[in-house]
Amino acid sequence: MQRKTAVVGVGESEYFNRGGATVSEFELACTAIRNAVEDAGLPLSDVDGFVSYLDARNDPVRLSAALGLPVLNFSSQTWGGGGNGVASSLMIADAAVSAGYAEVVVAFRALAQGQFGRFGQARAGGGPASYTAHYGVMTAAQICAIQTQRFMYENDVPQDALAEISLASFAHAQRNPRAVRYGRPLTREEYHESRWIAEPLHLFDCCPENDGAAAVVITSMERARDLRKPPVPILAAAQGIEHGGGIPAFNESNFPTAHHRHAGEMLWQRAGVGPGDVQVAQFYENFTGPVLMAMAEMGFCAPEEIASFVSNGNIQWPDGNLPINTSGGNLGEAYIHGFENINEAVRQVRGESTCQVEGVELSLSVSGPGFAPGSTILFCRD
Amino acid sequence: MGRIPPEDWALPMIDALNEDFFTAGRLLLQACRACSAVQHPPEHVCRSCQGADFESRESVGTGTVYSFTVAHYPAHPSLSDSVPYAAVLVELDDYKHVRLTGNVLDVEPSEVAIGMRVRVVWQEVQDASGQMLKIPQWQRAEA
Ligand SMILES: [Zn+2]
């Protein structure tokens, strides 16, 4: 926090359609980690910690053995939901390095879902799920659809506002050769004509499933300044919910919520800046509706202003006031469980994006909306 | 329209917290004896005062559709014949902060809308352990 640590390396495997990877998920993880460490100009043997989120399968003990690390000093991951933990994982790395528990921590995510079960796969529920699963409400899409429907009703949000998120991601993917949707643009007509998954969510409101891995390397600010590329300091990160924000089965005190209001407030307070100071942002798109909710909760506009905020190209590169998901995001680049949005937020500070925003001083990444606790991270120029 | 939930669909797993809700045949909500707060879903501790002594409070069982989705993609093979189906959140008239998930059994999915008036009905079914469940569901009510 407050420039104590920085991201010094960014890497990924090749990104594939679901089931397209010809190697194991573990090998994808190793590839992304090696690429990120090489990008930093560090020897692999300097890595002494790993962080991830949501029951990551590629555990640090196996990784440290496979990569031949001299020591493993730190390993951890976050609880809760799914992609809402992306930024939290970097927050843990920032804390571990700041506290001196590790020197060089890799945050990463690897996915080859065809080799395992699907996230959010339907299953009967005990506990809180007993109040929803019997009625046919099990999946992330259905949960986010019910949140989105109410948000649209309360704030007079048209379907076209959801389309704008999808169109921005697909447009930006057309400039990114890594993107799975590279060379396959999306029109507004195709969006509206695509089939329903769970109303009000069309097919193109929902992120695809992909195979791939992405990673970043975090170390102390002092060490970061001696490495190959300019460091990208972590200015602030935040994770959390307010009172009543975690009540299950749609009974949150602030329903409908993306679960980012408290995390957003903490982020701006810790960073000493506000949403208006940010030049570019990556918003995890599990589904487009909760992205709209997250943008409002992060303070970019009032909820009732969201439709006009996202229209007229305002969130598209190069002319928009707040270009979002500039690599193509979950929808257009690849669904690496949102980690690709971290890599892109770092690249925007470095000046390496394929949709590079000019004069980036602050680059924001907001993790998966609609599931608690929300998390978010803000990178800055050194 | 297909039947929702289908005959072979999973039933709620009954535990100490949800047993009243799914077996009483009356809409019993959890109320804190110390501060009178009514909370749903039930929990071991009162979210308002951290008390841990509860009683039941019965709702009259009428409400308004607060939000909904129409599911078109069957998230499980058992739901293939049920899609498209609507799942609703019902805001209770007498406990407005309580939202119950359910299905409006007598209404086509395309007719479900926020603001629709509904009343509770009971779906009786025996679970694998032999326990008789009375699961709250919904039908359209007069405005
Ligand atoms: Zn109480």
Kindly report, residue by residue over A47-64, the tens digit of the pLDDT.
999 999 987 789 999 999
Q: Is A118 on the interface with B (CB under 8 A)?
A: no
In a domain, A48, yes or no: yes
Q: What is the ipTM of this complex?
A: 0.98
In a domain? residue A169 = no
Within-domain flag for A168: no
Lowest-confidence pick of A79-83, A241-245, B86-90: A79-83
DSSP structure string for B30-63 = EEETTT--EESS--SS-TTT----EEEEE---EE
CATH of the domain at A101: 3.40.47.10
Q: How far apart are CA A246 and CA B102, in angstroms?
A: 20
Domain membership of residue A293 (yes or no) is: yes
Does the active-site annotation cover A284? yes
- Considering the domain boundaries, does residue A201 fall inside one? no
- Specify the range with the lowest mean pLDDT, choosing from A103-117, B29-43, B112-126: A103-117
In which band, very low, low, confident or very high, does the pLDDT at B142 lie, cut at 50, 70 and 90?
A: confident
Residue A234 belongs to some domain of the structure:
yes
The tally of domains found in chain A comes to 1
Spatial separation of the C-alpha atoms in residues A86 and A51, rounded to whole Å: 10
Q: Is the dihedral of CA B36, B37, B43, B45 positive or negative?
A: negative
Model pTM?
A: 0.97
**Ligand 1 mean position to B51 CA, how many Å?**
5
Taking residue A118's Cβ as centre, other Cβ atoms within 10 Å add up to 12
Q: What percent of chain A has pLDDT over 70?
A: 97
In a domain, A136, yes or no: no
**How many angstroms does the Cα of residue B30 sit away from the middle of ligand 1?**
10
Q: Which domain holds residue A232?
A: 5-117+207-380
Q: Which of B5, B13, B72 lies nearest to residue A196, judging by beta carbons? A: B72
Is residue A134 situated within a structural domain?
Answer: no
Is A139 an 8 Å CB contact of chain B?
A: yes
Res A101: pLDDT: 98
What is the residue-averaged pLDDT of chain A? 95
- pLDDT bracket for residue A149 (50, 70, 90): very high
How many angstroms separate the CA of residue B57 from the nearest CA in chain A? 17
Q: Is the pLDDT of residue B111 over 80?
A: yes
Token look-up 């909820």 returns A303
Residue B63: half-sphere exposure toward Cβ, Cα within 13 Å: 29
Tell if the CB–CB gap between B69 and A135 is shorter than 8 Å: no
For A229-282, what is each residue's pLDDT tens digit? 999 999 999 999 999 999 999 999 999 999 999 999 999 999 999 999 999 999
Q: Angle at CA A280, nearest 5°, toward A279 and A283?
A: 145
A182 touches chain B (CB under 8 A): no
The residue assigned the tokens 């002594």 is: B53
For residues A97 and A74, is the Cβ–Cβ distance under 8 A?
no
User: Could you tell me the pLDDT band of residue A69, with boundaries at 50, 70 and 90?
Assistant: very high
Do the Cβ atoms of B87 and A134 come within 8 Å? Answer: no
